[in-house]
Structure 1
Amino acid sequence: MRDLDLTSLRLFVTVCDTGNMSRAAEKANMVASAVSKRLAQLEATVGASLLTRRKHGVVPTAAGETLLEHARSMLLSASRIERDMASHAAGIQGRVNVLATASVMAESLADEIAEFLKQAEHQNIQIDLEERISPEVVRGIRDGVASIGICWDAAETGLLHTRTYRHDHLCVAVPHGHPLCALKELRFEDTLDFEHVIMPINSAVEVMLQREAGLLGKRLQHRVIVTNFEAALRVVRAGLAIALVPREVTGLYAEAYGLAVLPLQEPWSRRRFVLCHRGEEVLTPAALKLLDALSAAHTPASP
Structure 2
Amino acid sequence: MRFDLIDLRLFCEAVDAGSITAGAERCALALAAASARIRSMEQSLGAPLLTRSRQGVTPTPAGRTLLKHARAVLDQAARLREDLGAFAGGASGEVRLLANTNALTEFLPEALSAFLAAHPQVSVDLEERLSDEIVGLVAEGVADIGIVAGTVNVGALATYPFRSDRFVVVTAVDHPLATQAQVRFAQVLDYDFVGLERSSSLQRFLTGKAAREGHPLRLRVQLRSFDAVCRLVECGVGVGVVPQTTAARAVKTMALSVIDLSDDWAIRDLTIVVRAIGELRPSARHLVESLRA
TM-score interval for Structure 1 and Structure 2 normalised by the shorter chain = 0.5 to 0.7
Change beyond 3 A, Cα 1:67–1:205: closer
Letter in 2 for 1:109: L
Change beyond 3 A, Cα 1:46–1:202: farther
Change beyond 3 A, Cα 1:263–1:84: farther
Residues in 1 aligned to 2:257 and 2:200: alpha-carbon distance in whole angstroms? 27
Post-superposition offset of 1:106: 1.7
Give the TM-score normalised by the residue count of structure 2: 0.66
CA contact (8 A) 1:152 1:204 kept: no
Where do 5+ consecutive residues of structure 2 fail to align?
Answer: 11-19
Residues in 1 aligned to 2:39 and 2:161: alpha-carbon distance in whole angstroms? 53
Of the three residues 182, 186, 191, the one matched with 1:185 is 182
Residues in 2 aligned to 1:40 and 1:208: alpha-carbon distance in whole angstroms? 41
CA contact (8 A) 2:151 2:265 kept: no
Where do 5+ consecutive residues of structure 1 fail to align?
Answer: 25-35, 50-60, 298-303
Partner of 2:112 in structure 1? 113
Residues in 2 aligned to 1:212 and 1:39: alpha-carbon distance in whole angstroms? 41
Post-superposition offset of 1:245: 0.9
Q: Which moved more, 1:98-107 or 1:204-213?
A: 204-213
Classify the secondary structure of the residue corresponding to 1:239.
coil
Classify the secondary structure of the residue corresponding to 2:271.
strand
Of the three residues 162, 167, 171, the one matched with 1:165 is 162
Partner of 1:98 in structure 2? 97
Partner of 1:174 in structure 2? 171
Classify the secondary structure of the residue corresponding to 1:180.
coil
Of the three residues 146, 151, 154, the one matched with 1:154 is 151
Post-superposition offset of 1:228: 3.6
Residues in 2 aligned to 1:178 and 1:83: alpha-carbon distance in whole angstroms? 55
Change beyond 3 A, Cα 1:142–1:41: closer
Partner of 2:288 in structure 1? 291
Classify the secondary structure of the residue corresponding to 2:236.
coil
Ranges of 4+ aligned residues in structure 1 off by more than 6 Å: 6-10
Post-superposition offset of 1:113: 3.4
Post-superposition offset of 1:91: 3.4
Partner of 1:194 in structure 2? 191
Residues in 2 aligned to 1:149 and 1:99: alpha-carbon distance in whole angstroms? 5
**1:2-52: per-residue Cα shift (whole Å, max 9, x none)?**
344567898x969x9576xxxx7xxxxxxxxxxx9x998667436589xxx
- Paired residues in the alignment total 259
Over aligned residue pairs, what C-alpha RMSD do you find? 4.5
CA contact (8 A) 1:135 1:204 kept: no
Change beyond 3 A, Cα 1:242–1:123: same
Residues in 1 aligned to 2:39 and 2:289: alpha-carbon distance in whole angstroms? 51
Change beyond 3 A, Cα 1:201–1:115: closer
Post-superposition offset of 1:235: 4.0
